[in-house]
Amino acid sequence: MCGICGVIDFQERGQVKPSTLRAMADAMIHRGPDDSGDYVNADHNLGFGFRRLSIVDLAGGHQPMSNEDGSCWIVFNGEIYNHAMLRPGLEARGHRYKTRSDTETILHLYEEQGADCVDSLIGMFAFAIWDQKKRQLLLARDRIGVKPLYYTMMDGRLLFASEIKGILAYPGVHREVDQEALSLYLSFGAVPAPKTLFQGISKLPAGHRLVTQANGQMRLERYWDAVFPEDGYTQRSEEECTEEVRRLFAQSIERRMMSDVPFGVFLSGGIDSSFNVALMSRMMDRPVDTFSVAVEDDARSDEREPARAVAEHFHANHHEVVITPQDFVDLLPTMAWHQDEPLADPVCVPLYHVAKLARDNGTIVVQVGEGSDELFCGYRDYTRQMMLGPYYNAFCALPGIVKSPVAALGERFLSRGKGLYLQRAARGAPLFWGGVTGLPEATKRTMLNGYGTDDAAIGWLEGQYGTRKAAGGRGSLLDEMIYLELKQRLPELLLMRVDKMTMANSVEARVPYLDHELVRFALSIPPGMKFKNGQTKYILKKAARGILPDWVIDRAKAGFCGSASNMVHGPIVDAAVALVRNNGALRDLMDPQPLLDLCERNKRGDAATGHHIWMLLNLAVWHCVWIQGEEASAIAHWLKR
């Protein structure tokens, strides 16, 4: 796992310097503390920078790396799990290897297949390849979006990096808030690609590549999408689907055990992480290292007992860490720096600490359970949305003269959730906006001085649903919800929180539930096998039956460390109030009164406000770090009452 960066100057001024590339790469040193490198081409109009976390081929694999004749150069962040299978064929066709690394396989595939090399790769990746003969730069991000890649145009130059801070290390890059992205963040909890919260800085969407010519011509291409109309729903029986899910998941775990350094598992004691431990333990000749985290004196976050039981059952080498609410406050400036742009999920804090626990115990690679709930219908909210769907659509079909006053009454007299549905239905907006509950439009308008409408969010949603429909996606609401999660919440919130918080501790996280072959099969499973007889994740639980103890499978679902409603209280709420009162510059970002109102309601016992408080507190601290440029010590002072 690495940090990559680079510059291409379309005006060919010959000013790309190794010192600048090193500064960009060193801004991400946490992504690669083991090695570094840089490359500038002979014309000095293109350069790559690199930081390495050594996982495979520890002695070799130095980057930037070239092909045999030096005509192609690559910097690569990620892991290609099928590189050893691809290598013999490439060697048989005349390619000469200098290392054992997966990086070199990408480079040789590119020589044969050009930009289509991505289709042959199994793994997680973000990479850049410079082709001197074609005078072409290729940027690519993996299908699901496990690894990030950002880019911007500035003064006739394209800059890119694994993290936004790498781009900001380039001289002259401005830091301004993108107002439309800000409104999107308040709707979705993370800014959808290709936007970021920084004006002019974009992120490459999952399953996309950017092909750039030396003359400045750029082409953004989607090479993979989670729609396979040719598959249809599988005709396999329930038993056959169970066996195939089990086989594909075991294959995915085995692929992700590729490592020359110690690896382990984040274990909560739920079915997702426990299934991972169970299958991994079958493939190893030593105990699996497992890592758990809990919040002190918070029963909803504390899954140590079931995690210990799973670890004992599978003879794992188990480790635990307990954090406090004050740890959330203390981590805020550091967390905002590592996130680059805010992620509205307090799970980032326990993730950071459990990753630190792994690193402190010598484990550098971990497997995590992200993606299972999204693929296999693990959330009760999905089932509620499916039941609500027909009524929502019926209300949408009513004349506006009826919908508008009903929605206005609903906003006044119904609960926040029901009122929000009525407001969106009155506008004819899609029902499902993702697994994150954003702020109502009225609140956004107040906070952003009238700018914060839902227009951008609705436009983005309609674009995604329209793309899926045009590609032949099936009409099931569950399939639509899964598709949207694969386009937004998974790549830009859940996977980014894992990437940023693990890499903050120089730990690599791998995601076996999101192997693209498993994803494709999961998308072909009919909804009735995912939610059956009132049971969520039915087919996955059936696949785990007989491998996991029944008490693990039948245990009630709990979110990782619970949810914002139990994590965000006390010192965290006090810190939010203190920050907006002590730092007047935050008024340049937003009207703080809605945040103060949420904090007051939280103190009166409304725990449901926790998510929105964290969303806004995270945003405020991000502004302090990245826009105001404040030191961590100053922010820490403002967070105290």
Write down the residue that tokens 């960066």 correspond to: 5
Does 524 map to a domain?
Answer: yes
| Per-chain mean pLDDT for the chain | 93
The dihedral sign for the CA sequence 466, 468, 471, 474: negative
159 and 277 part of one domain: no
Q: From 466, 486, 506, give the residue that closes a domain.
A: 486
Q: What is the domain range of residue 100?
A: 2-177+194-222
- DSSP H or E stretch at residue 137: strand 136-141
263 and 338 fall within a common domain: yes
pTM above 0.85, yes or no: yes
Q: What is the pLDDT of residues 412-459, one digit of tens each?
A: 777 777 888 888 988 899 999 999 989 988 889 899 987 778 999 999
- Are 23 and 138 contained in the same domain? yes
pLDDT of 63 reads: 93
* Distances, alpha carbon 150 to alpha carbons 126, 238, 343, 514, in Å: 10, 42, 16, 22
Burial of 522 (0-12, 13-18, 19+ CB in 10 A): buried
Is 117 one of the catalytic residues? Answer: no
Are residues 475 and 535 located together in one domain of the fold? no
- Looking at residue 157, which CATH number applies to its domain? 3.60.20.10
Does 169 map to a domain? yes
For the record, the structure tokens of 504 come out as 């903050």
Whether 233 is in a domain gets the answer no
* 494 and 481 co-located in one domain: no
Query: Domain for residue 537, yes or no?
Result: yes
Residue 297 is predicted with a pLDDT of 82
Decide which of 454, 470, 486 is a domain's last residue. 486
Count of helix runs (H) and strand runs (E) in the chain: 28, 17
pLDDT bin (cut points 50, 70, 90) of residue 475 is confident
In a domain, 229, yes or no: no
Give the residue-averaged pLDDT of 121-137: 97
Distance CA 355, CA 36 (A): 23
Q: 535: pLDDT confidence band, cut at 50, 70 and 90?
A: very high
347's tokens: 């799970």
Q: What pLDDT is attached to residue 641?
A: 66
Residue 1 has what pLDDT? Answer: 66
Give the total number of structural domains in the chain. Answer: 4
Residues 435 and 496 in one domain: no
Same domain, 523 and 627: no
* Same-domain check for residues 32 and 110: yes
Instruction: Report pLDDT digits (tens) over 503-519.
Output: 999 999 999 999 999 99
Residue 575 lies in a domain: yes
pLDDT tens digits for range 194-242: 999 999 999 999 999 999 998 899 999 999 999 998 889 999 999 999 9
Q: Of residues 36 and 415, which shows the higher confidence score? A: 36
Q: Are 305 and 263 contained in the same domain?
A: yes
257 and 273 share a domain? yes
Convert the pLDDT of each residue in 266-299 to its tens digit: 999 999 999 999 999 999 989 999 999 999 888 8
Statement to judge: residues 363 and 507 lie in one domain: yes
Residue 457 inside a domain? The answer is yes
Q: Give the CATH number of the domain where residue 326 resides.
A: 3.40.50.620
- The yes-or-no verdict on residue 561 having pLDDT over 90 is no
562, pLDDT greater than 90: no
305, 569 Cβ separation under 8 angstroms: no
Specify whether 79 is located in the same domain as 103. yes
In a domain, 558, yes or no: no
